[in-house]
Every structure is written in C-alpha cells, then in structure tokens.
Structure 1
Amino acid sequence: MQRLRDLALEVLNEYQLLSEEFGSYQKTSGLACVVGCGACCNNPQIEASVLEMLPLALHLFDVGQADNYLHQMHDSGGFACHLFKRHSLDGLKGVCTVYEWRPGICRMFGVAGYRTKTDLPTLSVCSTIKASKPNKYADALITMSTSTPPMLTHGRQRIAKIDYSMGEKLMPINQALVAALEKVLTQAAYGALDDGNVAA
C-alpha cells in the first residue's frame, strides 16, 4: 500500500503544477471554464487513467468510503461522471463533489493546446467556453504563434511517466475510478493478510 501512497503523492504534486500551468493560461487568455457548467462532467466518455484516479481512491479508502463508492458505481447507470452532482435536469449545470481530488484531465480540459496532423499547434476549447467568449477565443487563436498554450498531450505524458503500468492506458472516467478503487482495496486486503490485521 505504501507504494500506491508514494505514487499518489507524486501524482498530486504533478496536479499542482498542471493546475498552475493550465490555470495561468486560461486566466491570461480569458478562456476559463464557465462557473457552474457541467457539460463535460455530464459525459461519462471523458477518459482518465487509473493513475489519475489513484489519489482519490486512496482518499476514499482513508475516510472509509471506498467500498461504498465501489458498490454505488457498480449499481449506477453511468450516464455522467459519478463524481458529478447535477444542478439541472439536463446535466449542463452542476458541481464536482471531489474537486480537490479531481483527475488530471479535469485540470487540463476546457482549454488546452494540441497538435494537428501537420504538427502545428492549435487550441482545443470546449463549445460552452467558445460560445460564451467568442472574442476571447478569436484573440487566443490570433496569438497562437507567440503564445502557445500548454499542451494536453504533454500534461498526459507527465502524469503517465510517474507509473506507465497505471498511467498509460486511458478509459472512461468511471471505469478508471472503479479500477483504482479495486486496486486500493485489493492492496489493503493483501496487506492486512500479510501483517495479520483487518483492513479498515
């Protein structure tokens, strides 16, 4: 279990850097996420790695909620990210219930750079931000040649290199959390057997 905790700490340290990097660009460009928007959280196909979900899985284990979350997720329909609390029937408004522990993709999503097939940098901006701030979006595209945004793939690679066995493969976010919870609970059970204690 200590190995998982060490990895989670490295991931959290990288999250802090990514939040600063992507947040700074979004603030400078004026293209930050719309407050209260849940459009991307309402999409269960947003992908994350098991490694990205590891800090949250360990936190849930530490507060005695890992089993409960796992059972809820197996029983739910999976129409949105399980961690999202809707504030509207259509799911376009809401909040993240674990914002402090959100995975890397949620820290980079919304506004990020990527490279086209011809290897030119361009800007990925979610449709909600584009629609609400069209002039800021146009300005950001114009300044791309002098102010390249932080790249989504670089952020992904920085997280993945912490542990490629858990960080390289991407899957729908709910599946990634289930896999991370199962890994933590399995490690806890084996650790308990090894030292004669009962897992908390």
Structure 2
Amino acid sequence: MLPDLVVRVLEVYAQADQAVHRYRTATGLRCPSGCVSCCHSPKVEATTLELIPLAFHLFRSNQAELLLKRIDKQHQAEHCILFRPDLAPEFGGGCSHYPYRALVCRLFGFAGAEDREGTPRLAHCRVMKEMYHLGPGPTDETAPLPLFHTFGVAITALHPHLGAVRRPINQAIAEALQKVGLYLDLCPPDDHDHSRDLPPEKPLGTPFRPRRAA
C-alpha cells in the first residue's frame, strides 16, 4: 500500500537528515548563504518512490492538479518545478516543498562514494569546493561521511520497481502524482472522503534547518 511506503520512505529521509547533520557538525561544512545552484541543475534525478510522500502531501493540500499542469506546461524546463524564485527572495528563491524534497537534495554537498580502495570520498559541490578550498581527499577522516549508495539501496529495497529507476526530477514528480492519484481513485469510497488513506501530514524527515542550496 502506498501510504505504508510513505512512512518507510520518510524514515529513510530522517536517517539521511541525521547523517548529514552529524557530518556537517563534524566538518563545519555549510552551503553558501543564498546559493541555489543545484536547484537550477538539469542533472537532478530521483526515483518515483522518493516523490510519493510529496504526491500525498500535494493531494492533501489540493495542489496536485495545479502542479501537474505546471509540469505539462513547462515540460521543457530543466530545473526542478518545485523551485520558486519568489520564495525568500533575500536568498534568491528556494524549494516550495522543502520537507518533501528528494534524496539527492538532502545529501548533495554532504555525501560521497567509496573509491577503488574502499575509502569514502566526498562528492564535492563545485561552489563549496571553491568556498572551502577542498582538495581531492576526504574533508575529515574521522567524520561519518554519508554515502549516496547506502541510502539509494535503502530506497530501492522498499520497492524494487518504484525505487530503482532514476528519472529527471520533474518526470519523477509527475509519475508519483499519477500513481497516487490512481490509488486514491481506486481505493474503496467512503462518502468520497480519502482523508483516511493519506499518511500523516508532518514528515518524519523534517530537516534540522533548511538549506537553500538543496
């Protein structure tokens, strides 16, 4: 059932947020104030499963149809449809649904992968690399570096179909909305009230402090 998957996805998100928080505390790394470079990247991808919590939230708040129309209208847009330049203008804009952002948005700049010797290496954000003068090696050998692979596998394990294939972020959002919409249409009617089928409003993976760059 999709609502059950939502809870489990948010649990993975909570673990990712905690891992990033520990790493940031240990290293002192921070996103530059007002930086939204990664929000404009055309390379942001996610699995459909990662956006299922967002889709339920959008249906609960009656925003699903509007966002689907925006995606269809702006189908050639390369940056994430959730980015709003008018949100917190003093920061250059931000994510309109930050608590429900995808896994890469939670980890980017503070996670990495193991090299051929099995040593964890930070996947540098270009802006942060210049800001902190980061070299090719680990920023801190004692810091618990989150790994993209670890959390990616955790997502895939929840649902090998919905959580395996990574797609452009807007495509993943649209597919998640379509699947949740179909689920709500097909679930047993109860005076046409689907509120009982929606997961809790507050996600378990709420960030410690919003980062405008992710």
Scaled by the length of structure 2, the TM-score of the pair is 0.80
Instruction: Return the alpha-carbon distance in structure 1 between the equivalents of residues 155 and 135 of structure 2.
Output: 30
Higher mean C-alpha displacement, 150-159 vs 57-66: 150-159
Deviations 1:59-94 (A, max 9, x none): 00111111111111111132210001126xxxx943
- Using CA pairs under 8 Å that are at least 6 residues apart, name the structure with larger relative contact order, 1 or 2: 2
Query: Could you say if the C-alpha distance between residues 181 and 190 of structure 1 is closer, same or farther in structure 2, counting changes exceeding 3 Å?
Result: same
1:131 is matched with 130
2:199 is matched with none
Identity level (%): 31
Q: CA deviation at 1:167?
A: 0.7
1:106-185 aligned at under 5 Å gives the runs 106-134=105-133, 137-138=134-135, 141=138, 143-144=140-141, 146-185=142-181
2:82 is matched with 83
Query: Could you say if the C-alpha distance between residues 142 and 58 of structure 1 is closer, same or farther in structure 2, counting changes exceeding 3 Å?
Result: closer
Work out whether residues 121 and 137 of structure 2, in 8 Å CA contact, stay in contact via their aligned partners in 1.
no
Scaled by the length of structure 1, the TM-score of the pair is 0.85
Matched residue SS, 1:41: helix
Matched residue SS, 1:141: coil
Matched residue SS, 2:84: strand
Instruction: Return the alpha-carbon distance in structure 1 between the equivalents of residues 190 and 151 of structure 2.
Output: 40
Matched residue SS, 1:164: coil
Unaligned runs of 5+ residues in structure 2 are 195-214
2:44 is matched with 46
Q: CA deviation at 1:118?
A: 4.8
Aligned residue pair count: 190
Deviations 1:144-190 (A, max 9, x none): 3x435111111111122111211111111111100000001111122
2:34 to 36, 41, 56: 36
Matched residue SS, 2:40: coil
Query: Could you say if the C-alpha distance between residues 199 and 69 of structure 1 is closer, same or farther in structure 2, counting changes exceeding 3 Å?
Result: farther
Matched residue SS, 1:195: coil
2:202 is matched with none
Matched residue SS, 2:122: strand
Query: Could you say if the C-alpha distance between residues 160 and 184 of structure 1 is closer, same or farther in structure 2, counting changes exceeding 3 Å?
Result: same
Q: CA deviation at 1:116?
A: 2.5
Matched residue SS, 2:37: coil
